[in-house]
Structure 1
């Protein structure tokens, strides 16, 4: 079963169809149509990622095929080619939704580069369409119940001005939650200012937050407002607040109580209007008990506590995020794999991800750069993932399954049964995609996405 993306080539010259098939044979599964009517008929039955179509053909031309493609498969990326290139037809094609325009005769490598870019765009469209239904908060994606519960809580907290504290392991996406709080608040049109308390030396952090006046310390040659003043009317995000020095914790407590700040070297106080959002990967309650974090500041922060689950507890979010990160790589450059092999997905799901989402993103970026095939395989993933056992014949499958969460196990089962289900439905529908989608109880475009995802070809069942 081919896992290559599918490209439909439409031209009324057989030698051109053979040439394009030869150029793209390593990059795509190429379908062909020798006239516009045949292409439109095929588009109504088969899911494709890219259409490469001649403009001038007998009876039904390329613009008619473009119009039909946008109607039947709006997610497909359309590229026109013609020996009759004119500005007028190019503009018309772009207005109708064409992605690019290729003039004959063309260099084979130029055509391949255009198609690879189009395939990258198609992968991005697919990921975006899938992510649209998995968007829990602005910039936050997931399917796991723990994330849905967190999103509901963020939705309730965001409209208020309550101080919020985001807790979670390093790399889980605490800043994304903070940005979502800001985006959903009445302050969204004003600034969101983020500060990493662990990254700035403690002697400089106070000046960074509260500002200073000229002569306050050596090197202070002019008055300078701090980030609290810069964010007036907006939100200040203090990341890794657990690393803040005790003396500065006391001053921050006063800011939260009085809603005013005092620049270094200045006697008067300045009113501020900001919402504070803090975050840390540390156990603040234990730090309070141990005397390393001020109890009064903890009480000020403990108004709206949002706990972000580690990635290992988020089940199917691993695959969702991995596909999204791969689509982001496709947006940056042309030659990027269009998916993951089943074995690679098994490994991604089984790995415990101690570095959480940040580690997953880095792993996908690395694999996208190193992979030489059409999909990312196990050998393309980082060594720390490859050394993690997914299935060891000497241990037996039950021993490996016992290391997985319920969500990881059901995800693995879904990927095993999904291709067989799609094949069965297509067989019953005699290869008719519209009828198969109706049997499956989903929209035709969603059915097309499933076919692309699992590498199932409808024409094999007619």
Structure 2
């Protein structure tokens, strides 16, 4: 890190010299000004990380300098010094945004502690601002062109009431996108209710979604509010909707069409005002062909579609995601360096488990490193074992032992990769895959790949 630039403002030449020596020993670069006017002129032409200023000076004093900085929109941190400490001046300085307030005389340790505290705080703010910039206003992290496109879609659809279908491989962050849409919507103050349709047994899922009245079935000892009722006024997120049994898909279609729900064992109709966001790790066209997704339900939920690319197709996102998860897991106030070798190692990996796998590896790496800089040895991954074949058999992807689905997953990934390498040229992609151009076009249609 480059040396920090500190501006010293004091009307006493001797005090300025003492501070210059003290700060030089702390490896700071210093500039000096004899009063507030001179300091403000310097601030117009030079970038500083911190201002250390006397409170009482002839002409423009420290408080007036601080006020003028804020009026000019300059938000750099300021430490006040004075030999004439008073409650009134301290309150005024802190009200205007001074970071600390030191009474003379003070020793080197006191000054250094104050400065380290100020820089730790400003570093945290800068890091949070960086992450907010990468994540967008609503939490989706990424700097790649693909992530920028997803972020634009989030901003575009969030203010509407449109039903959204999010597609993408397991672990790509579909729920993150769904939450981002909710937080950017007019429903942000109501509940976001997620439910994983693949994680709940079919005989329980219906009650989870629609609720039940007491006595509706054996074991129904009391009334239960379903997830749809719970999400009334807000958003319900139906993850892995293609794993929902067909009878429930028919019931869901009715809920979407009529805006009402009935609990199991009840004839009472409950009106709902909610938004539905659905997601699947399957290609919708293939899911319809395999009768995993009702075609009429697909057209009802596919009002606005967002396709979330796998991490291997947005490698520029690896570093910001890496830093985001390190800050989340280790704490933003405790920066953990990453070596260039580690970054190169991670960028060369194909990430069959996508963003979820990256987060898990970072959590393990932080344990292995013991707080030291993260190096390639802290990420024991086998780049040779990654790729489309490994992705097809990733643990999370094995919802069931469906050979057709596994083959379709591999074919779809190979075709997407070939198109990426050939700049979407179908003829060249067919040659690369050693198939006919007609086969490519048939596969594009079969897997719902935009051609």
Picking from 364, 379, 399, the partner of 1:383 is 379
Superposed displacement of residue 168, structure 1:
1.9
Structure 2 residue 331 is matched with structure 1 residue 336: no
Q: Distance in 1 between matches of 2:220 and 2:105?
A: 66
Q: Is the 8 A contact 1:75 1:126 kept in 2?
A: no
| CA deviation profile, 1:137-176 (whole Å, cap 9, x unmatched) | 6333544333343344444544543321111234433223
Q: How does 1:58-73 map to 2 (within 5 A)?
A: 61-67=61-67, 69-70=69-70
Q: Distance in 2 between matches of 1:45 and 1:380?
A: 42
Structure 2 residue 29 is matched with structure 1 residue 33: no
Superposed displacement of residue 256, structure 1:
2.5
Instruction: In structure 1, list runs of 5 or more residues that go unmatched.
Output: 390-404, 407-462
Structure 2 residue 150 is matched with structure 1 residue 150: yes
Superposed displacement of residue 278, structure 1:
0.9
Cα distance change, pair 245–50 in 1 and its aligned pair in 2 (3 A)? farther
Paired residues, what number? 380
Cα distance change, pair 317–333 in 1 and its aligned pair in 2 (3 A)? closer
Q: Distance in 2 between matches of 1:145 and 1:106?
A: 52
| CA deviation profile, 1:188-223 (whole Å, cap 9, x unmatched) | 454332223345455443333212222335554432
Q: Which has the larger radius of gyration?
A: 2
Aligned to 1:87: 87
Q: Distance in 2 between matches of 1:201 and 1:80?
A: 63
Aligned to 2:409: none
Q: Distance in 2 between matches of 1:363 and 1:371?
A: 14
Structure 2 residue 208 is matched with structure 1 residue 238: no
Q: Distance in 2 between matches of 1:63 and 1:202?
A: 68
Q: Distance in 1 between matches of 2:62 and 2:126?
A: 24
Aligned to 1:304: 304
Aligned to 1:446: none
Aligned to 2:261: 261
Q: Is the 8 A contact 1:10 1:17 kept in 2?
A: no
Structure 2 residue 76 is matched with structure 1 residue 76: yes
Aligned to 1:177: 177
Please give the root-mean-square deviation of Cα atoms over the aligned residues, in Å: 4.3
Aligned to 1:417: none
Question: Normalising by the residue count of structure 1, what TM-score does the alignment of the two structures yield?
Answer: 0.65
Q: Is the 8 A contact 1:137 1:151 kept in 2?
A: no
| CA deviation profile, 1:384-415 (whole Å, cap 9, x unmatched) | 47x869xxxxxxxxxxxxxxx99xxxxxxxxx
Q: Distance in 2 between matches of 1:6 and 1:199?
A: 54
| CA deviation profile, 1:228-270 (whole Å, cap 9, x unmatched) | 1122233211123344345543432332344322212223332
Q: Distance in 1 between matches of 2:208 and 2:317?
A: 37
Superposed displacement of residue 306, structure 1:
1.0
Instruction: In structure 2, list runs of 5 or more residues that go unmatched.
Output: 385-419, 422-451
Higher relative contact order (CA 8 A, sep 6+): 1
Aligned to 2:401: none
